[in-house]
Amino acid sequence: MDTVRITTAEAIVRYLVAQRIVVDGDDVPLFPGVLAIFGHGNVTSLGHSLEVHRDEIPVWRGQNEQGMGLAAAAFAKAMRRQQIMVCTSSIGPGATNMVTAAGMAMSNRLPVLFISGDTFNSRLPDPVLQQVEHFGVPSTTVNDAFRPVVRFWDRLTHPAQVLSALPQAVATMLSPADCGPAFIGLPQDVAAQADDYPISFFRTQVHEIARPRPDIGQVARAAVAIRASHRPVIIAGGGVHYSRAEVELAEFAEQFGIPVIETVAGKSCLPASHPRYSGPIGVTGADMANVMASEADLILAVGTRLEDFTTGSWTAFDPHAPIVAVNAATFDAIKHFSLPVVGDAREVLADLTAALTGYGTDAAWVGRGVQMRTELQEFVDGRMAPDDQWPPSYAQIIGQVYESATTDDYVMTAAGGLPGELNINWMSTSVASFDCEYGFSCMGYEAAGAWGAAFARRRGEVYSLVGDGSYLMLNSEIYSSVLSGRKFILVVCDNGGFAVIERLQRGKGGASYNNMLADSRGPGADVRVDFRAHAESLGAVAIEVHSRDEMREALAVARAADRTCVIVSKVRASDWTEGGAFWQVGVPEVSDRAEVVEAAAQMRAGLLDQRRGV
């Protein structure tokens, strides 16, 4: 057997370079780049090998390890899980900074390869700089914190372990059922050690993502249930995107006359102009889609994990309506006593199409879906329409961005009030053109994620909308985007605090406290951040607007700009787009405040509709 003697770090880099994948018919790198902040633990060995191979796997400098991880996850989402970014950090705080990003990727089932430096396997120089010591368990390091937030976790304690760890990590990240982030801990001494590796290990390998076919019996049982229904509805989730099954979904819905409502992750599975589209479902959804869900006598859930924001904490459906759950993961397909069809969404839809020949829903139900879609458009048009007031509402800001965008553009957001506002008011004009990170609802994703999406997009602009609270949480990747030449347009909506949480706080009977700047403790509550100046200091083109005309002009400037552009506008703090579904949160059962007591009573009443079986 032919071998080559190289270090562990060199073996890792050579293996990553050798991995390829077919995307839209093109043979491309599976790992197109590395987002890195170097320090002791990853600079002298892994960093050295990455520099040697700089033309084969480019390294992009991040400013914050969490930001890098969020960018990598957003890249994976924009690529529909077909390519994977690597994130590497030093030991200690560099590693723990990435844990939050790993949690976000885990929650959203997105592949990211995290490689962190680790303490010495020999333990001879212990305790090293940034080492957290565990008196009774000396093998524990901060990298063990990744265990709950990744699909694959390993610490290399010998160079030969590369031969098994990396293929297993890649297989996990490319699995439709098990997809999620992977973590490799790289002790400093092991990274530098050499071994004789088989040359065959570094031969080019071209991957194709598997499309697991469903069980014939599961398809047959699902077809029987669907045929027995008169008012079925499809809930389209993120799995439709990852299966690249948008065309098949559109054809299936059209052929059988089944309305389609979308989750946050599934948004833009269909363009809003499709005749079967009926809107976004759930807590951040529109009344029209929630009406369709409540009236349906069968739920066909395709590629969704049915989280509480989708199901209204499991109150959104008729409790007697069966659920047929199509999912690559058995874990998701059997939730809440669903009738499972485990397999790739595209393949399941094809098999169900054949099994449902001759089936069709009632004309009245098709018309009901069209009616709800029409009412949604009228509602959105009304919400986005300008008025004579300034500052504008979120919806009016969204309306102006919508007017300036094209079908080639990509829009995204994350935590706060914007997910609900965009989910309802953004009527997608093209497929796979929307990203709202609401699995982990991670503040700070907006800027970092936009940087990651900009790596993935080959046409159009990336628009990201962010509140002032999320902007302050994590904004440093604006500078990363300028450094790397990956442009995006960031629209900062300043409402003076964490307004959507204040809305929840007051909506459940509490007093406004510690969310808005105006009711925060301390002498500086009247001091406001100059977001324009801050963004400009990070190298972005920055514009603050004070009128609708100025916003229109700023969007035109941003589109023509050669680098990331930040547009700042004040927005109304409490002008929300109404809609949504019941949401279970913890309301005190006992309180001296009458409003809290009333909110608790309302919560108990809402829970009476919670689905607990079939």
Please tell me the pTM assigned to this model: 0.97
Q: Does 364 share its domain with 389?
A: no
Q: Does 361 share its domain with 389?
A: no
**What is the DSSP track for 464-517?**
EEEEHHHHHHS-THHHHHHHHT---EEEEEE-SB-HHHHHHHHHTTPPP-SSBG
HEC-encoded secondary structure of 331-345: HHHCHHHCEEEECCH
Report residue 188: phi and psi, to 5°.
Answer: -60, -40
* DSSP H or E stretch at residue 369: helix 363-384
Q: How many residues does the chain have?
A: 614
Mean pLDDT of the chain: 96
Q: Does 108 share its domain with 130?
A: yes
Q: Is 570 helix (H, G, I), strand (E, B) or coil?
A: strand
Instruction: Copy the structure tokens of residue 284.
Output: 């951040």
In order of 166, 253, 295, 470, the CA distances from 483 in angstroms are 30, 45, 51, 22
Which portions of the chain are predicted below pLDDT 70? 614
Q: Does 295 share its domain with 163?
A: no
Beta bridge partners of 507: none
Instruction: Copy the structure tokens of residue 346.
Output: 């595209």
pLDDT number for residue 108: 97
pLDDT number for residue 366: 98
C-alpha span between 507 and 595 (Å, rounded):
9
Among 189, 207, 225, give the residue marking a domain's end. 207
Q: Does 161 share its domain with 40?
A: yes
Neighbours of 275 (CB within 10 A): 15
C-alpha span between 527 and 525 (Å, rounded):
6
Domain assignment present for 611 = no
Domain assignment present for 262 = yes
C-alpha span between 467 and 569 (Å, rounded):
10
Among 207, 239, 270, give the residue marking a domain's end. 207
Q: Does 265 share its domain with 326?
A: yes
DSSP state of 146: G
Q: Is 129 helix (H, G, I), strand (E, B) or coil?
A: coil
What CATH code is carried by the domain that includes residue 531?
3.40.50.970
Domain assignment present for 270 = yes
- Write out pLDDT tens, residues 371-421: 999 999 999 999 999 999 999 999 999 999 999 999 999 999 999 999 999
Peptide bond into 391 cis (omega under 30): yes
Contact between residue 531 and residue 492 where contact means Cβ atoms under 8 Å apart: yes
What CATH code is carried by the domain that includes residue 227?
3.40.50.1220
Domain assignment present for 42 = yes
Domain assignment present for 592 = no
pLDDT number for residue 614: 67
Q: Does 68 share its domain with 191?
A: yes
Measured in Å, how far apart are the chain's first and last C-alpha atoms?
A: 59
pLDDT number for residue 69: 98
Among 328, 346, 375, give the residue marking a domain's end. 375
Contact between residue 333 and residue 341 where contact means Cβ atoms under 8 Å apart: yes
Q: Is 375 helix (H, G, I), strand (E, B) or coil?
A: helix
Report residue 198: phi and psi, to 5°.
Answer: -65, 130
Q: Is 115 helix (H, G, I), strand (E, B) or coil?
A: strand
State the burial class of residue 254 (Cβ atoms within 10 Å of its Cβ: 0-12, 13-18, 19+).
Answer: middle
Domain assignment present for 245 = yes
Neighbours of 70 (CB within 10 A): 35
HEC-encoded secondary structure of 517-550: HHHCCCCCCCCCCCHHHHHHHCCCEEEECCCHHH
Contact between residue 261 and residue 201 where contact means Cβ atoms under 8 Å apart: no
Q: Does 362 share its domain with 389?
A: no
C-alpha span between 17 and 501 (Å, rounded):
45
Counted domains in the chain:
3
Q: Does 247 share its domain with 138?
A: no
C-alpha span between 418 and 466 (Å, rounded):
7
Q: Does 431 share its domain with 468?
A: yes
Q: Is 25 left (phi over 0), alpha (psi -120 to 50) or beta?
A: left
C-alpha span between 226 and 223 (Å, rounded):
5
Domain assignment present for 584 = no
C-alpha span between 239 and 265 (Å, rounded):
8
Domain range for 49:
3-207
Domain assignment present for 121 = yes
Q: Does 194 share its domain with 86?
A: yes
DSSP state of 29: E
Neighbours of 590 (CB within 10 A): 7
Q: Does 301 share its domain with 415?
A: no
Neighbours of 128 (CB within 10 A): 17
Q: In which order are the strands placed within the sheet that holds 298-302?
A: 277-280, 260-262, 232-236, 298-302, 323-327, 339-342
CB-based contacts of 509: which residues, under 8 Å, 6+ apart? 587, 591, 593, 594, 595, 596, 597, 598, 599, 600
Neighbours of 403 (CB within 10 A): 11
Contact between residue 73 and residue 452 where contact means Cβ atoms under 8 Å apart: yes
Beta bridge partners of 205: 19
Pairing of strands 339-342, 323-327: parallel
